Amino acid sequence: MSEDLAEWLSDSNEALSLQLVRDPEDEDVLYAQEKRAIEPFHPTFTYPIFGEREKIFGYKGLDIQLQFASGSLRQFLSITYDSKLNSPATPSDEIEGTLYKFIPPDYTKSEMDFSKLVEKDSSEFKPLGEKIGSYVRPAATSSKSKGKGKGKVSNGEELKEDDENAVVFEMYKATWNTPGFREYHRRMQLFILLFIEGGSYVHEDEDSWEFITLYEKRKRPAADSDIWTYHFVGYVSVYPFWCYPDQVRLRLSQFVILPPYQNQGHGSKLYSTLFSQMLSRPEVAELTVEDPAEAFEDLRDRNDLRFLVSNGILDDPKFSIGIGPSDELSRSERVKWESEIRKKYKITQRQFDRLLEMLLLKQLDLKDEKELKKYRLHVKARLYRFNYEMLSQMTLEERKEALAKTYESVVEDYERILEMTFH
């Protein structure tokens, strides 16, 4: 492309801005960090919509605004630009027509209509499905407040949902059979394309999909108000697959927390609620994860580690037996113990192996050479089994070198995760 034409290229990630819009009455009660919830933010990815290069051709000063009513996710689209290239030889990209393929057709381009819709939805919208969990955070009360508390007030007492300065977060479970949810899902699924690398829309003709959506819930501040407003935070989708002989394996397919709510612990709350739900269902054998991103893997590891520790695994007398080279009896006891614990908590084999290795490292006295060697051999044995096909094609020296490098990398990552989890 010539330099003259290159100046008509726009980065689609920068040109497209998203925003969750609340009624002005609900915006006025937000302070400090809470205001992030109503500020514009940009997508991480737009290649599923605008192509691999994530470029839009034919405009200067391009600004695409896609706004969502914060609860119902009804949409407003605005496309403006300073100038547009009008050339039959090099036509400008069709923006609205491209977006139309990915969003519901009932969006509006009228600011006035959208304002009325936001006002109406703010008092009328209610989450769809069955409420399965909630937690409370303190509201920010001034520009100096961070609003990052974990459910306690300044005197250390636990916040209650009906406390005046409480912000409640609720989770709702839904399926395609939930009235109205299929239409609602078509509004929220766009976030999968924009924030999950390799994300794609689920097929609505697959009947067994399950969803958990997370909302911020606030009471209107007026003294005589009995209105609660709901604001979308994120969601997770799972799909059950048959597991021999008579159970199902739940596969976590999509997990997204919108940027205004990230790094505040909401992802952990959503994941732990899903995990608790999974444990309570006798027909579920285990929870698997489909192609997890690194950030989600970290979130999953932290929560799984805390779960195991809170359930006393470190105090189990069998936790440390059969590590590294050991007698057949000890090793047999460990294999049996690991299998029982893993099935009890419905964790996949590889994930459970990693979690145990991290917890063993947490308890390890690094000055004890004998114990350190036992741990190193224990981890290497698992790595050898996991990478057997590749390692079996190497010479003995190449295999030793590869295992040593992999071990060092794995332990370094374990230390990073442990620091995040138990700092």
Q: Are residues 102 and 248 in the same domain?
A: yes
Confidence of residue 324 (pLDDT cuts 50, 70, 90): confident
Q: Return d(Cα 100, Cα 98) in angstroms, integer.
A: 5
Q: Are residues 114 and 183 in the same domain?
A: yes
pLDDT at position 238 is 98
The CA-atom distances, in angstroms, between 323 and each of 259, 330, 386 are 42, 9, 17
Confidence of residue 150 (pLDDT cuts 50, 70, 90): low
Rounded to a whole number, what is the largest CA-CA distance in the chain?
A: 79
CATH of the domain at 130: 3.40.630.30
Q: Are residues 50 and 163 in the same domain?
A: yes
Question: Structure tokens of 420?
Answer: 């995040």
Q: Return d(Cα 416, Cα 383) in angstroms, integer.
A: 19
- Whether 296 maps to a domain, the answer reads no
Mean pLDDT of 271-283: 98
pLDDT at position 329 is 87
Ligand-binding annotation for 266, yes or no, is: yes
Among 195, 209, 183, 181, smallest CA distance to 255 is for 195
Average pLDDT score over the chain: 93
Q: Return d(Cα 74, Cα 69) in angstroms, integer.
A: 5
Ligand-binding annotation for 248, yes or no, is: no
Q: Is the pLDDT of residue 152 over 70?
A: no
Better-scored residue on pLDDT, 328 or 296: 296
> Would the CA dihedral through 169, 173, 176, 179 be positive or negative?
negative
Confidence of residue 161 (pLDDT cuts 50, 70, 90): confident
Q: Are residues 258 and 336 in the same domain?
A: no
Q: Are residues 267 and 349 in the same domain?
A: no
Among 180, 183, 181, 201, smallest CA distance to 191 is for 201
Q: Are residues 20 and 76 in the same domain?
A: yes
Q: Are residues 278 and 330 in the same domain?
A: no
- Whether 302 maps to a domain, the answer reads no
- Whether 156 maps to a domain, the answer reads yes
Phi then psi for 299, rounded to 5 degrees? -60, -45
Ligand-binding annotation for 36, yes or no, is: no
Q: Are residues 367 and 263 in the same domain?
A: no
Q: What percent of the chain has pLDDT over 90?
A: 86
In tens, the pLDDT along 95-132 reads: 999 999 999 999 999 999 999 999 999 999 999 999 99
Mean pLDDT of 33-42: 97
Please classify residue 362 by burial: count the beta carbons closer than 10 Å to its beta carbon, then call 0-12 exposed, 13-18 middle and 19+ buried: middle
Ligand-binding annotation for 61, yes or no, is: no
Domain that holds residue 91: 3-291
In DSSP notation, 207-262 reads TT-EEEEEEEEEE-SSTT---EEEEEEEEEEEEEEEETTTEEEEEEEEEEE-GGGT
In DSSP notation, 388-408 reads HHHHTTS-HHHHHHHHHHHHH
> Would the CA dihedral through 348, 354, 358, 364 be positive or negative?
positive
Ligand-binding annotation for 309, yes or no, is: no
Q: Are residues 279 and 383 in the same domain?
A: no
Q: Is the pLDDT of residue 217 over 50?
A: yes
**Half-sphere exposure of residue 30: CA atoms within 13 angstroms, side-chain side:** 19
Q: Which of 234, 258, 291 corresponds to the end of one domain?
A: 291
pLDDT at position 141 is 75
- Whether 370 maps to a domain, the answer reads yes
- Whether 300 maps to a domain, the answer reads no
Inter-residue contact 286 to 347 (CB < 8 Å): yes
Residue 291 CB coordination number (10 Å): 10
Ligand-binding annotation for 262, yes or no, is: yes
Q: Are residues 239 and 323 in the same domain?
A: no
Mean pLDDT of 201-213: 97
pLDDT at position 239 is 97
Residues 6+ apart with CB under 8 A from 415: 361
pLDDT at position 1 is 54
- Whether 297 maps to a domain, the answer reads no
Q: Is the pLDDT of residue 156 over 80?
A: no
Q: Which of 259, 291, 323 corresponds to the end of one domain?
A: 291
Q: Are residues 135 and 238 in the same domain?
A: yes
Mean pLDDT of 189-211: 97
Ligand-binding annotation for 423, yes or no, is: no
Question: Structure tokens of 125?
Answer: 């919208």
In tens, the pLDDT along 44-99 reads: 999 999 999 999 999 999 999 999 999 999 999 999 999 999 988 899 999 999 99
Q: Are residues 180 and 257 in the same domain?
A: yes
In tens, the pLDDT along 348-374 reads: 999 999 999 999 999 999 999 999 999
pLDDT at position 384 is 94
Confidence of residue 143 (pLDDT cuts 50, 70, 90): very low
- Whether 273 maps to a domain, the answer reads yes
Ligand-binding annotation for 211, yes or no, is: no
Q: Which of 291, 317, 340 corresponds to the end of one domain?
A: 291
Number of independent structural domains in the chain: 2
Q: Is the pLDDT of residue 144 over 60?
A: no
The residues annotated as belonging to the active site are 290
Better-scored residue on pLDDT, 287 or 324: 287
